[in-house]
Amino acid sequence: MKKSLSIKVLIFLQVWMIGAISYAQDNIIDEVVWVVGDEPILKSEIEQARLRAQYEGVKFDKDPYCVIPEQMAVQKLFLHQAVIDSIEVSEADVLKQVDRQMNFYIQQIGSKEKLEEYLNQTTTQLREKWREEVRNQMIADEMKRKIVGDIKVTPAQVRRYFSNLPSDSIPYVPTQVEVQIITQEPKIPQEEIERVKARLRDFTERINSGETQFSTLARLYSEDPVSARQGGEMDFMGRGQLVPEFAAVAFNLTDPKKVSKIVETEYGFHIIQLIEKRGDRIKVRHILLKPQISAEEINASTMRLDSIADDIRSGKFSFEAAATYLSSDKNSKNNNGLMPNKNEGTSRFEMQQLPQEIAVVIDKMNIGEISKAFTMINTENQKQECAIVKLKTRIPGHKATITEDYQRLKNVVLEKLQNEKLQKWIAEKQKTTYVRINEKWKNCDFQYPGWIH
């Protein structure tokens, strides 16, 4: 199963990276087939998206050559409005999402080296290709949230929705679990931290003395793979787009010729150089170095957690107390270690919603059982950490009920109201946005018929 999945992922990645290769092979000239505002949609982009959807197993109710460009056009409407409304997303959040994608593909294929070998590109190059696509999707999603942000759902609306549902339309809720977790980051020896700081101080001296340019050192040594390719240079950022420790130092820089003090963030250690300030936005370059965690420290951390698990099993203290006082997981430690499902607004997860490392461990556990220690990647800061988990509850699959699944039914009603508002917003935007569509696409049965005036 793993092998066939890896092959499917590799084919999908090739389609994603190659883009319009099929047109080159067939000697078909690419062309602009839609224009939304001043943004074009190319025939090759539609074909690329169709192939990607095919390999992802996406099914279309209508002709994909009609559905896909319309989806692209709708996203351009959101992106255009986001510029007007000054909607931004954190560069750190963009990079986290890119890293999540990268880790998924590496896990499926086996290793970073295999991925690079198959696609003949470095992971740095792959991240750079994905970066803009991820940013645009995140900005569009943020614009949608702003449009529907004032919609509220009352208990009466949920009860009315549920009571009006035919019995054969009541949603089926797959098996769900509630999981408690205790995590610990492997201890980084002080000598390793000092090694990283000494290296950054050496970089600072070389830059200040004029021996080497900041951008050169960033390209050679920075462990931020995206900005390193641009000599450490980042886009213009608002204060809220940067992690607080980084922002506090960056926004106090005044001399572009000077290098900042060493800054520690959740990602590692940085030095920063000012490029330009524009009002409340700033453009800087930085070098990131990450302390290395040794196998000995990882083993020591897993042994500590296994010892904690043994003490809980023997009744010395509860899992809840250990999570509160010993866990480093900021999302769960103040809730007795109970993992929150932020997407659902509950503590219940379907198995595929859990981080893969946790899902594998939980799958064969009994209720109340505590796992052995294991390692995982923190999806927020991409650091390796060690964990133990406890399966608190397992709720078998069932038809939804108002008492057991109120939050899920509330989310269904909320999504319905949000979709109605978004559809109305799109219809209004179509009336005021310049749209030009190739004649071959004008007979499409569009979801939003207002494209052709």
Residue 161 in domain: no
Do 124 and 25 lie in one domain? The reply is: yes
pLDDT of residue 29: 60
Residue 168 in domain: no
pLDDT of residue 436: 92
Residue 9 in domain: yes
Do 89 and 224 lie in one domain? The reply is: no
Tally of domains in the chain? 3
Do 180 and 202 lie in one domain? The reply is: no
Residue 325 in domain: yes
Do 108 and 196 lie in one domain? The reply is: no
Tell me the three state secondary structure of residue 272. strand
Q: Tell me, yes or no, if the pTM score tops 0.85.
A: no
Q: Quickly list DSSP for 364-414.
A: TPPTT-BPPPEEEE-TTT--EEEEEEEEEEEE--EE--TTTSHHHHHHHHH
Q: How far is 103 from 95, CA to CA, in rounded Å?
A: 12
Assign residue 30 the CATH number of its domain: 1.10.4030.10
Q: Which of 260, 289, 318 is the last residue of a domain?
A: 289
Do 251 and 327 lie in one domain? The reply is: no
3-state helix, strand, coil in the chain (%, to 5): 50, 15, 30
Domain that holds residue 205: 190-289
Assign residue 234 the CATH number of its domain: 3.10.50.40
Do 238 and 312 lie in one domain? The reply is: no
Do 182 and 320 lie in one domain? The reply is: yes
Q: Which of 237, 257, 289 is the last residue of a domain?
A: 289
Dihedral sign, CA of 60, 61, 62, 66? negative
Do 109 and 21 lie in one domain? The reply is: yes
Do 382 and 331 lie in one domain? The reply is: yes
Residue 402 in domain: no
Residue 169 in domain: no
Cβ neighbourhood burial of 31 (10 Å; 0-12, 13-18, 19+): exposed
Amino acid identity of residue 17, one-letter, is M
Q: What is the pLDDT along the chain (453 residues), one digit of tens a residue?
A: 444 445 555 555 655 555 544 444 444 567 899 999 888 999 988 988 888 787 667 888 899 999 999 999 999 999 999 989 989 888 778 877 887 788 777 777 777 788 788 777 787 777 777 888 899 999 999 999 999 999 999 999 999 999 999 988 898 999 999 999 999 989 888 999 999 999 999 999 999 999 999 999 999 999 987 788 889 998 888 888 888 999 999 999 999 989 999 999 988 999 999 999 988 889 999 999 999 888 899 999 999 999 999 999 999 999 999 999 999 998 999 999 999 998 888 899 999 999 999 999 999 999 999 999 999 988 776 778 999 999 999 999 999 999 888 988 999 999 999 999 999 999 999 999 999 999 989 899 999 988 987
Do 365 and 353 lie in one domain? The reply is: yes
Q: How far is 287 from 289, CA to CA, in rounded Å?
A: 7
Residue 167 in domain: no
Residue 408 in domain: no
Do 111 and 57 lie in one domain? The reply is: yes
Q: Which of 259, 274, 289 is the last residue of a domain?
A: 289
Q: Quickly list DSSP for 408-437.
A: HHHHHHHHHHHHHHHHHHHHHHHHHS-EEE
Do 182 and 331 lie in one domain? The reply is: yes
